[in-house]
Amino acid sequence: MLECAGHDTDSNDCQKTRPMRVIAGESKGQRIGSLKKLGARPTTQRVRSSLFAILESDGIEGKCVVDLYAGTGTLGIEALSRGAIWADFVEASPKRSALLRKNLTSLGYCSRSKVHCMKVERALKSLGRHYDLVLMDPPYTLGPVHQVLENVVALVKQGALVVAGHSKHHPLATQYQGLELIRERHYGDTVCSIYREGGNPW
């Protein structure tokens, strides 16, 4: 899965895993810190590399991005590195949010981002911003997030892209309110479904 569910532990019990790195852009090769007992496993480099190759064909530079179920922020940070002008990160865990803020600080993205420590369902109603690109990386334990996809249209600009990572065992619909599936890529058990507001292809 893209982000694994787990149990929070005290920071003293957390041990560092081998950090992920930014794949491309201004922060290429820089580390993205992760703690293995915080209950989040960042999106693999293979999946990120393939996904962003697709997204860059539509353009990332100058766009506003939101990373839902952000975990350590690998997707939103990758977008910032590739030229996104702003990124909001939504993460329900206070400990993962703290690590994410640390990552953004170390990479120099504090002035172009904000971490919102809240559940995604609340964020859909309270962010008060519209985005060109929505990145969703929910834990597999949530199952298919149909209701979130039905409501995420409240956050998107006209023609925006919405990317949802999910298990092949939890298929998503081809249409949600205001969104139509335009591409889908499989990486083992992981599937990345890409929707566009209005449904127009590339």
pLDDT tens digits, 110-157: 999 999 999 999 999 999 999 999 999 898 888 889 999 999 999 999
Lowest mean pLDDT among 28-32, 43-47, 131-135, 192-196: 43-47
pLDDT of residue 52: 95
pLDDT of residue 44: 77
pLDDT of residue 1: 35
Is the separation of the CB atoms in 199 and 70 below 8 Å? no
Kindly state the average pLDDT of the residues 4-24: 51
Burial (CB count within 10 angstroms: exposed 0-12, middle 13-18, buried 19+), residue 13: exposed
Which residue bears the tokens 């690590």?
99
Lowest mean pLDDT among 9-23, 32-46, 186-200: 9-23
CATH superfamily name and code, 11-197: Vaccinia Virus protein VP39 (3.40.50.150)
* Amino acid letter for position 77: I
Q: Which two structure tokens, joined as six digits, stand for 189?
A: 């058990």
pTM for the whole structure: 0.86
Is the separation of the CB atoms in 31 and 55 below 8 Å? no
What are the CA-CA distances from residue 115 to residues 120, 155, 180 (Å)?
Answer: 12, 16, 28
pLDDT of residue 19: 63
Q: Which two structure tokens, joined as six digits, stand for 195?
A: 């929707």
